[in-house]
Amino acid sequence: MDPLPIYVWVIVLIGVIGMPATICVVLWRGAIAAGLGRRRAVSISAAAGVVWAVWTISSALLADADVYRLEPDVAKPWIGVAVIVALTLALLFTRIPVVRRVLANPGVLWQLTLPQVTRVVGIAFVIVLALGKLPAVFALPAGLGDIAIGVEAAFLARRMRRGVVGRGAVWFNIFGLLDLVVAITIGLTAGLGPTRLLAVTPSTEAITLLPLALILTTMVPLATALHLTSLARLRRTARARSIGRPVASTA
């Protein structure tokens, strides 16, 4: 497959770098709000940034070596494995006691939504569709779905910062997860290999190559972890309110 234009790389890298960078800022601010001090806040956010940078570079090298690239007659599950490994890594990070303390601060809830704004880089799928290198059956739901989630994230974060936390926040995270599941499912079933169920032309081979492979192996796991963490936090907040416990402002 011919290399994608440089502007597609730029769009993808904005998301691949922007999402974890925003999360690092969220962790830093959350640690300050939780009373952990600036030095510890920097340590937490820096540790998250370094670990994810190492993973991103490793994934880029794997993609460049065609490890993720699917072949018509060979089962190659590595891109799926990479997504699962990265998601597990992100979720395990949230279980570290000091990180749990940061995420327990009610003021961090709206900030967990903010990194999802970078999902607007899903427009890259639509652009690659226009270039004739992705099928519409994948690019339209995946690209437009990501754009919609990214735009809504900006408005939702603003409302939540003002203290408006309702069912809209729950539905946002549910639909955000659904968008990711649909995109991955179509991406795999319309790709090359034994799992191909959708015989479309072109296939979704492009998402297993650079730069689009980085969206799947870095942004998708992070977005999923953010949605799951937000839903867990929203559930705890709703439970506290139902039994009459005071809930701190999300400002």
pLDDT (tens digit per residue) in 203-241: 999 999 999 999 999 999 999 999 999 999 998 877 766
Which pair of tokens denotes residue 178? 């659904």
Q: What is the Cα–Cα distance from 96 to 170, expressed in whole angstroms?
A: 24
DSSP characters over 14-67: HHHHHHHHHHHHHHHHHHHHTT--HHHHHHHHHHHHHHHHHHHHHHHHHHHTTS
**E strand spans, 150-249:** none
pLDDT (tens digit per residue) in 1-41: 789 999 999 999 999 999 999 999 999 999 999 999 999 99
Four-point Cα dihedral 85, 125, 176, 20, nearest 10 = 50
- Report the candidate in 187, 205, 191, 193 with the shortest Cα–Cα distance to residue 72: 193
Rounded to an integer, the average pLDDT of 158-170 is 88
21 close to 13: Cβ distance less than 8 angstroms: no
pLDDT computed for residue 245 by the predictor = 57
Helix axes 220-242, 78-94, angle to 10 degrees: 40
